[in-house]
Amino acid sequence: MADFSKTQLKLIGIAGTNGSGKDTLGKLLSEHHGYYFMSMTDILRVELKRRDQSLERENMRALSAEWRHRYGLSVLVDRVIAHYDALVNKHDYSGLAMASLRNHGEADAIHANGGLVVWLDADPRIRYERIRANLVSRGQERRINDDKSFEAFMAEETAEMNRPKDGDAASLDMSEVKQKSDLFILNEGHDVSDLEKKITAALSF
């Protein structure tokens, strides 16, 4: 893997399994290293609200596939970059970090723009318990997706990790994103400082 440094790296794409800490990493990059952070799922939520649709994960999957068919596999990455480029004060930031890459075209788009893809993971039980522990503090829209049994949690993950049998390239295929990732971090600690140490060491901040 290349030796990335803060002065070289202007774009970071964050991917990983549910509950692995993608938003946490994005916030660490924002608060400790000066990156502008945005989650691609926020774009989907805004559109679902505009359409007066519920914010369930199934609806977000359908919407993201619809947009990839219509605008290309990199549509969500393109929209986050366009949002960042439109910021008047973007030069105040070290760069752009975006979370929740879930399609191989998104990983390709990060690389095409000179960026790095980080893959986060942890033991499924740890991730499930982490999500359950945060249910109370999450907004209603996040509880809709997170209040489920461990079996349902794992079934959902299996569906999102693997492209459906019809081979639709616009569907979620997180296993392919994982294959295209540049940096892998195991985030099984209960202290955010542990993740901060790992990303700082990995990226030579």
> Which class is 11-199 in CATH?
alpha beta
pLDDT, position 1: 41
pLDDT for the residue numbered 142: 56
* 97: nearest Cα among 28, 13, 199: 13
Cβ atoms within 10 A of the Cβ of 147, count?
A: 12
Confidence at residue 146, expressed as pLDDT on a 0 to 100 scale: 64
Q: Give residue 101's pLDDT.
A: 98
Q: Helical H runs in the chain?
A: 22-33, 40-50, 57-71, 75-85, 104-112, 124-133, 140-146, 150-161, 174-180, 192-203
Name which of 174, 141, 123 is nearest 20 in CA terms: 123
CA distances from 51 to 73, 126, 176 (A): 22, 35, 30
Stretch 53-66: mean pLDDT? 93
Rounded CA gap, 48 and 63, in Å?
8
In the numeric block, which tokens belong to residue 196?
């901060």
User: Domain segments of the chain: what residues?
Assistant: 11-199
| pLDDT in the model for residue 166 | 73
**How are the residues of the chain apportioned to helix, strand and coil, as percentages rounded to the nearest 5?**
55, 15, 35
Higher pLDDT, 32 or 144: 32
Confidence band (pLDDT; 50, 70, 90) for 132? confident
- Asked whether the predicted pLDDT for residue 5 surpasses 60, the reply is no
Average pLDDT of the residues of the chain: 90
Q: Which of 46-55, 99-108, 158-167 bottoms out in mean pLDDT, i.e. has the lowest?
A: 158-167
Q: How far apart are CA 122 and CA 112, in angstroms?
A: 28
Do 12 and 85 meet the contact criterion of CB atoms below 8 Å apart? no
- The total of other beta-carbon atoms located within 10 Å of residue 49's CB is 12
Query: How far is Cα 192 from Cα 16, in angstroms, rounded to an integer?
Result: 17
85, 26 contact by CB (below 8 A): no
Q: Two tokens at 136? A: 């109370």
The confidence score (pLDDT) of residue 137 equals 62
Spatial CB neighbours of 32, under 8 Å, sequence gap ≥ 6: 196, 200, 205
